[in-house]
Structure 1
Amino acid sequence: MSGDLTKALALIDQANEADPNIDEGRPEARLYGERMTSEVDRLFPDASDVLKIACRGQHVERWKLPRKDFPEGRAGYYAWRKEQGRRHGERVAGIMAEAGYDATAQTRVGVLLRKEGIKQDAEVQALEDVICFVFLKWYFSPFADSQKPEALPRIVERTAAKMSAEGRARALQEFDLPEPFAGMFRDQE
């Protein structure tokens, strides 16, 4: 499974540099990938190359498949998200091949990016925990401002439900979550 991690991350960054969406003066997908790397390195310092690459490539070229191209509502959202996972898995596997990773590693990154085995597969769950930490740390506040106040409890509850017990406990330590949101992180099974 050996390959060149530095090259794989650089190739993902190169792809994401083309994102026309700008956040804090930078291509949005590139910034998101760097934030994911920062969190995986902090939360899972012994992470495998595959997990590190999956984190950096979580939104690789996401702008190429806009949400508006899918029907409104929950079913349209889930169809869009599933297709994004498939596309990200294929794109990142190709990048890994270019960086010298074998077919096993390429297949594995697709499993992570499609979230196959969440709650059963430790690496898939670790990726989801990193995603949730990045969301809470950098994106929740602006996202919350764009939502109806009555929608926020359900959003927070869904975020907490995606996380591992360890991830929820750590989130409670690191984020000053007001009630009833903190309770949603404590009350998950």
Structure 2
Amino acid sequence: MKKIEIAFAAIDAANRHDPDLREGEPAAWLYGQRMSAECDRLFPNASEALQIAARGQHIERWVLKRQDFPEGRAGYLTWRTTLAKHHATRVGEIMQDAGYDSQDVDRAQKMIRKEGIKRDPEVQALEDVICFTFLKWYFAPFAPSQDPAKLDRIVTKTALKMSEDGRARVLEEFDLPEALAVHFQV
């Protein structure tokens, strides 16, 4: 078995324990599968570190619950930062166990923590994968529950995180209403 297959199997096994079932599957496991599919589609020549970062980006997300952090934006950001560190640590442990060297482990962890977004091509690639996965699989069920002004802010923030190439692909691949599509124009 190849190192990447060992890493994927370990990430999948961990994510199979997610108690949140979506579409009959553990939510974190399903998200990892979708992230891998989008990574393969958008970046067919991705490094193994990027492929593993995509698969493990939300590993064990359920272990750190939002309600265990303070209310408001500061609490939310603390939760997200703490989650990213947890995800990076767990993926690093899995990669080490699979036989990856410290350089590959560090690369994947840096991507998961989003260190160098807009400056590091692989960190940016992972962010584009995250945004495409959100738009393709999670946006439509999420959108009706949001106030239109808040939804517009979320779409704006999503577009701003993406690369120019990523935003252009969104316009090619998604039939967005003009009010939302305008955010992705380059």
Structures share a fold, TM > 0.5?
yes
SS in 1 for 2:57: coil
Show structure 1 runs of 4+ deviating over 6 A: none
Tell me how far apart the structure 2 counterparts of residues 56 and 155 of structure 1 sit (CA, whole Å).
23
**Residue 179 of structure 1 corresponds to which residue in structure 2?**
178
Tell me how far apart the structure 2 counterparts of residues 171 and 38 of structure 1 sit (CA, whole Å).
16
**Residue 113 of structure 1 corresponds to which residue in structure 2?**
112
TM-score by length of 1: 0.96
Shift of 1:37: 0.3
Tell me how far apart the structure 1 counterparts of residues 43 and 161 of structure 2 sit (CA, whole Å).
17
**Residue 88 of structure 1 corresponds to which residue in structure 2?**
87
**Residue 70 of structure 1 corresponds to which residue in structure 2?**
69
Tell me, which stretches of 5 or more residues in structure 1 are unaligned?
none
**Residue 45 of structure 1 corresponds to which residue in structure 2?**
44
Shift of 1:179: 1.3
Query: Which amino acid in 1 is paired with 2:166?
Result: G
**Residue 55 of structure 1 corresponds to which residue in structure 2?**
54
Tell me how far apart the structure 2 counterparts of residues 127 and 95 of structure 1 sit (CA, whole Å).
19
Shift of 1:107: 1.3
SS in 2 for 1:76: helix
Query: Which amino acid in 2 is paired with 1:186?
Result: Q
Shift of 1:79: 0.7
Tell me how far apart the structure 2 counterparts of residues 164 and 72 of structure 1 sit (CA, whole Å).
31
Tell me how far apart the structure 1 counterparts of residues 8 and 84 of structure 2 sit (CA, whole Å).
18
Shift of 1:147: 1.1
What does the per-residue CA deviation read over 1:125-174, in whole Å, with 9 as the maximum and x for residues that have no partner? Answer: 00000000000000001111221122111110000000000000000000
Q: Which deviates more from structure 2 when the two are superposed, residues 54-63 or residues 98-107?
A: 98-107
Tell me how far apart the structure 2 counterparts of residues 109 and 153 of structure 1 sit (CA, whole Å).
31
SS in 2 for 1:183: helix
What does the per-residue CA deviation read over 1:68-126, in whole Å, with 9 as the maximum and x for residues that have no partner? Answer: 11112111111111111111110000000111101111111110010000000000000
Tell me how far apart the structure 2 counterparts of residues 32 and 118 of structure 1 sit (CA, whole Å).
21
How many residue pairs align between the two structures?
185
Shift of 1:181: 0.7
**Residue 8 of structure 2 corresponds to which residue in structure 1?**
9
Query: Which amino acid in 2 is paired with 1:172?
Result: L
Tell me, which stretches of 5 or more residues in structure 2 are unaligned?
none
Q: Root-mean-square deviation (CA), in Å? A: 0.9
Tell me how far apart the structure 2 counterparts of residues 143 and 68 of structure 1 sit (CA, whole Å).
19
**Residue 36 of structure 1 corresponds to which residue in structure 2?**
35
SS in 2 for 1:180: helix
